Amino acid sequence: MPEELARRLGTADAVVVGLSAMIGAGVFAAFAPAAAAAGPWLPLSLALAAVVAYCNATSSARLAALYPESGGTYVYGRRRLGHLWGYLAGWGFTVGKTASCAAMALTFGAYAAPALARPLAIGAVVALTVLNLYGVQRSAGVARVLVAFVLAVLAAVVVAGLTSGVTESWVAYAPLTEPPGFDLRGVLQGGGLLFFAFAGYARIATLGEEVRDPARTIPRAVTVALGVTLVVYALVAFAALRVLGDGPLARSAAPLADLVRRAGAAWLVPVVQTGAAVAALGALLALLLGVSRTVLAMARERDLPGVLAAVDPVRQVPRRAELAVGAAVVVLLLVADLRGAIGFSSFGVLVYYALANASAYTLSRAEGAPPKVVPVLGLALCLVLAATLPLASVVAGLAVFAVGVVAWLARHRPAPR
């Protein structure tokens, strides 16, 4: 019987963990590449990403309430679809989100001190891994402070953008490509890239074993975190398009700093830079928590080395899994690229949620099944968005999943007679 984690998180704690993952990742990392893909149709991409996120969140919340264990869709896939499908979900999540950890660490380093971005990124991963070793409650407390600060910064950015006399209509502004007609593939690709920003609610489900009253807490926390994030993203996107237009937004390395500078509030630039660094730290903290819990679940089932399944008897945290994830992120930081990591992570997580929706489709009404249209729409949109991501992201993602299948077959091949 594996050791269990302590249930210490309430609804507010779970909401904060989800917000710190979503808001930190999306506002400061995903809008520029999404604008490059969607051009003036960025709001439509945002709406599409929100619909996919709602379907995925609903399916995940129902499954997490039924199976309140660490591991998220890795657990649900195993229970509802079979061992291999659950393994592929866990593999995609672990590899994709490890890349996200590296991306968030680099974002922090780039905003804090560009000349020292990689050393600072490595230092942040080490520091937050150590923090997580002291228990999930302490981590959630730190995340609460980070989220409050980031929301205050974003509120200042939105006010500056909406009250500025400078405007660039995203219909009248010359987009990146001519003519400015509707580009379905661009909208889909933009939605897939922006989905990276919404995927933080997975952290709530992967912490299911540490949440009090999971049948009520998880669905509530997912709904609240997703709703708050959508409102924040919509306001920021509107302000950015109003002041910058889609072309400069797509080309900007620091779009929110450029927004306040063009809006005539240059004094806010250092505040925005600080907010970006803090947001990246909050996202990194939540990501490290979520990935380590999936590693714990996979190690319990021997899909990863069993030594990673140990739970610290005093602090009741998966110490070895957390150390392993931290070490993997540090190694990846030596070669990581921020924009490439976003596309690669999006592919892995979209496949992960496709399997979550497939699992939710098998639920009965007595098990709390959502309306069938939710998992069907979620599954279809996840696969479409994954297929329309940048080609390099799709190829890299398929290669990683192929490696995962080979590793699983090697580990589970029948013993010779």
- 73-80 and 269-300 helices, crossing angle to 10°: 40
pLDDT for position 356: 92
The CA angle 181-184-188, to the nearest 5 degrees, is 135
pLDDT for position 376: 96
pLDDT for position 66: 84
Cα→Cα distances 275→111, 163, 230, 235, 248, Å: 9, 20, 19, 17, 21
Tokens of 381: 């949109």
Distance CA 105, CA 220 (A): 29
Q: Mark the ranges of the chain whose per-residue pLDDT is less than 70.
A: 1-11, 21, 24-26, 29, 70, 135-143, 166-181, 199-216, 314-315, 336-340, 414-417
pLDDT for position 3: 53
pLDDT for position 208: 57
Query: What's the length of the chain?
Result: 417
Four-CA torsion 297, 279, 259, 257, nearest 10 degrees: -120
3-class DSSP string for 268-326: HHHHHHHHHHHHHHHHHHHHHHHHHHHHHHHHHCCCCCHHHHCCCCCCCCCHHHHHHHH
Burial classification of residue 228, based on how many CB atoms lie within 10 Å of its CB (0-12 exposed, 13-18 middle, 19 or more buried): middle
Architecture category of domain 11-409 in CATH: Up-down Bundle (1.20)
Q: Which residues contact 178 (CB under 8 A, 6 or more apart)?
A: none
**Bond prior to 370 in cis (omega within 30° of 0):** no
pLDDT for position 196: 73
The CA angle 261-265-269, to the nearest 5 degrees, is 60
With contact defined as beta carbons under 8 Å apart, do 243 and 81 qualify? no
Q: pTM for this structure?
A: 0.75
The domains of the chain are located at 11-409
Q: Which residues contact 6 (CB under 8 A, 6 or more apart)?
A: 210, 316
